[in-house]
Amino acid sequence: MKTRSHKPKSSSPQRFDLFLTFITLGLVIFGVVMIYNASVVSAHQDFGDKYYYLKNQLVSATVGLIAMGVAAKVNYHYWQKLSPLILAGAVLLLLAVFIPGLGVKAYGAQRWLNLGPINLQPSEMVKLSYIFYLSAWLSRKIKLLPFLIITGLLVGIVLLQRDMGTATIIGLVGLATYFMSGASLWQFGIILPISAVVGFIFILSSSYRMKRLFTFLDPTKDPLGSSYHINQVLIALGSGGLLGLGLGESRQKYEYLPEVTTDSIFAVIGEELGFIGAVILIVSFLFLIYRGFKIARNAPDKFGQLVAGGITSWLAFQFFVNLAAMVALIPLTGVPLPFISFGGSALVTTMVGVGILLNISKQTK
């Protein structure tokens, strides 16, 4: 009796993480809708065009979608080789904001570059380039002093731009990536207290940071002055109740709520869609974070693990810091809500980050 020979089946190629893809696209589309809802009044008042913010965000979302697709196709190991050059370029752009004529100062901060038809925020690019560089370096060796030097340099430059929110995110992402690289726990016993002391010193050294701290400690102290912003946020969230006032029905967007399309957009979401809508958004973000860390856990090498873990940590920290500030758990920080807040630099960079996660997911074990 003849026996049939069985050829081993060829393993099918991995696909991109479809859950991560769809949840990201869903958040971006939802963000475009909410920016239009939130910006109708301010866009008409400031630019005479109620579609001003909508059109700009649609352009940014389109560029971000193309960039995300390209990043998903490019093998993530390519970034490992270029990471020093990418970080150097990002730091040069970060320093360029101090050049008269190039740097743009707004709301007391100098963190944008005027490049003709577009304004660029280099600190958003620094987050991703820093993750590349740190992951490439920590995948080979772990040394505390060089880590502290490069992280301190980046955080210091961003602090000079009066952007403590972004500086905090960079520091947290650096610590998370360093921890994931396998660093000793005793090192964090040194880093964390020092970081806390340095952060407190920076708060005490600036009058506007001191005001934010005192506002956080007592939001009722100056409701028409330093506490105005957080009070209007809480009014918006409280007005939404369980089910919200309805899509497009926000009252706080009528020139009551500051930064209505950027830092405070979650307040409009809570007002219009209520507690239920806010919970659905939070669960969506938590699912995205879960998929990101799952990709990191299954990445084929240490560089992939650190890049995926760093990008996911970046999105997670930025999400939680924004929400914590909106519900008065921490002082207002000026950190945008990923994929939702208005801003081309932030949206495109975060979508590139997701594209890199998708590429890593296609090569997972």
User: What pLDDT, on the 0 to 100 scale, is given for residue 99?
Assistant: 86
- pLDDT-derived band at 207 (thresholds 50, 70, 90) equals confident
User: What pLDDT, on the 0 to 100 scale, is given for residue 69?
Assistant: 96
Annotate 267-306 with three-state secondary structure: HHHHHHHHHHHHHHHHHHHHHHHHHHHHHHHHCCCHHHHH
- Buried/exposed code over 189-211 (b: 16+ C-beta within 10 A; e: otherwise): eebeeebeeebeeeeeeeeebeb
Distances (CA, A) of 97 to 35, 84, 114, 116, 131: 27, 21, 9, 14, 22
Nearest to residue 166, comparing CAs of 203, 111, 118, 210? 111
- pLDDT-derived band at 43 (thresholds 50, 70, 90) equals very high
Residues 125-173 pLDDT 10s? 999 999 999 999 999 888 888 899 999 999 999 988 888 889 999 999 9
| Element (DSSP H or E) covering residue 120 | strand 118-120
247-272 mean pLDDT? 92
- CA separation for the pair 126, 319 (Å, rounded): 18
Domain residue ranges of the chain, discontinuous segments joined by +: 18-362
pLDDT at 107 over 70: no
- CA separation for the pair 353, 128 (Å, rounded): 7
Of the two residues 309 and 228, the one the predictor is more confident about is 309
User: What pLDDT, on the 0 to 100 scale, is given for residue 189?
Assistant: 83
Would you state the structure tokens that stand for residue 102, as one six-digit string?
């190039």
The answer to whether 313 and 307 have CB atoms below 8 angstroms apart is no
User: What pLDDT, on the 0 to 100 scale, is given for residue 82?
Assistant: 93
211-223 mean pLDDT? 80
Give the rounded percent of residues in the chain with a pLDDT score beyond 70.
95
